Chain A
């Protein structure tokens, strides 16, 4: 549960960074801006916290401390960015907004988006329930390396060892980036 809260904090931190740096100031209705900022900001925050998590493990921290510090660092950066730069760039974004022409056919695209999202979520739920450890790549690469990272000291190093996968580089890919596995591990 603490892992999920930390992840949520990192996601909010990512939203703060986007807002503060002025990277997410699109014209459009409020729900659209919140949706875009939320989805991009969550990805940015979780990605950055995973990027901090592995160097902290490397520096010798215990896995739980590495996860908490990684997530909270991103949250703090996001909060600072929002506070210091958010106001400065707010005026610029207001100037960019243009009045929109009404597009009556847009309801069909919105409805299709909602239906598509619901079907993708339902398909994901069915697949996850049937195979909780995932398909080949999930158990042989991403979740396996997450298990090593989550074990803390000294086992996390096996996640980047050429020995994983029985020394067959193509079996467990120690050369792949750690972003996804580190996110799973920090949960």
Chain B
């Protein structure tokens, strides 16, 4: 009888110990997560510059039909920077679908997303497009030249 009560007391002690570990671990991890979120929010808000991309492409987006397939031109060589630039433009211009050029079929319109000043006409001509409007900030609207 006494052994049973000792066993029950020992089990209750173990449960209390495990509960204390759960309390400390959950509150500690949640506090660490909160602190990290607060630091990130303070030091690097909008780390992928999506707000800036929305502003850069807003005027151009107004010129394009919703749900259109639009060509995409960039001066960036393939790599992480080029992928980010493409995804920023794609998010800003959705629900239009961007199709990187050259492609099998050339859409009527194309978007230039440029990282530095360069010859806009020459870039368009390389893919069979003519510059329709330069919106500044590296954003250019191109129109397909010919059929």
Residues of A within 8 A of B (CB): 105-106, 108-109, 111-113, 115-116, 119-120, 122-124, 126-127, 129-133, 135-136, 139-140, 143-144, 147-148, 150-151, 154-155, 158, 161, 163-168, 171-172
The 8 closest A-B pairs by CB, nearest first: A155-B67, A151-B95, A130-B41, A123-B37, A130-B45, A119-B30, A147-B94, A123-B34
Enumerate chain A residues within 8 angstroms of B51, measured Cβ to Cβ.
132-133
Contacting pair B97 A131 (CB below 8 A): no
Q: Is the CB of B87 within 8 A of A165?
A: yes
Complex alpha-carbon distance, A111 and B96, angstroms: 48
In the complex, which residue of chain A has the Cβ closest to the Cβ of B12? A105
Residue B23 interfacial (CB < 8 Å):
yes
Q: Which residue on chain A has the smallest CB distance to residue B15?
A: A105
Interface 1/0 per residue, B16-39 and A, CB below 8 Å = 100110110011011101101110
Q: How many inter-chain contacts with C-beta < 8 Å in the A-B complex?
A: 124
Asked whether, in the complex, the Cβ of A163 is within 8 Å of the Cβ of B37, the reply is no
Would you list 5 pairs from A and B whose C-beta atoms are within 8 A, ordered by A residue? A109-B23, A127-B40, A133-B50, A144-B90, A147-B94
Q: Which of B29, B42, B44, B83 contacts A171 (CB 8 A)?
A: B83
Given contacts A108-B20, A136-B48, A155-B66, contact A161 B97 (CB under 8 A): yes
Q: Chain A's interface: helix, strand, loop or mixed, by majority?
A: helix
B30 to A165, Cβ gap below 8 A? no
Is the CB–CB distance between A144 and B94 below 8 Å? Answer: yes
Q: A130-B41, A130-B45 are in contact. Are A165 and B26 (CB under 8 A)?
A: no
Main secondary structure of the interface of B (DSSP, over half): helix
The answer to whether B97 and A164 have CB atoms under 8 Å apart is yes
Proximity string of chain B (86-129) to chain A, C-beta cutoff 8 Å, 1 when within and 0 when not = 11101100111111100000000000000000000000000000
Q: How many angstroms between the C-alpha atoms of A126 and B38 in the bound complex? A: 6
What residues of chain A lie closer than 8 Å to B99, measured between beta carbons? 163, 166-167
Among candidates B23, B97, B100, residue contacting A108 with C-beta atoms closer than 8 Å: B23
Residues of A within 8 A of B48 (CB): 131, 133, 135-136, 139
Distance, CA A155 to CA B29, complexed state (A)? 42
A148 to B37, CA, bound (A): 29
Most-contacted residue by chain B among A106, A133, A143, A165 (CB, 10 A): A133
Is B46 an interface position by the 8 A CB rule? yes
Complex alpha-carbon distance, A140 and B86, angstroms: 10
Interface contact B87-A140, CB-CB below 8 Å: yes
CA of A172 to CA of B44 in the docked complex: distance in angstroms? 23
A166 touches B100 (CB 8 A): yes
Chain A's nearest CB lies how many Å from the CB of B70? 11
Q: How far is the CB of B141 from chain A (nearest CB, A)?
A: 19
Indicate if the CB atoms of A112 and B33 lie closer than 8 Å: no
Known contacts A164-B90, A166-B100; is A158 also within 8 Å of B20 by CB? no
Question: Closest chain A residue to B86 by CB distance?
Answer: A166
Interface contacts beyond A144-B94, A166-B83: sample of 4 additional A-B pairs, CB < 8 Å, sorted by A: A151-B66, A151-B95, A154-B67, A166-B98
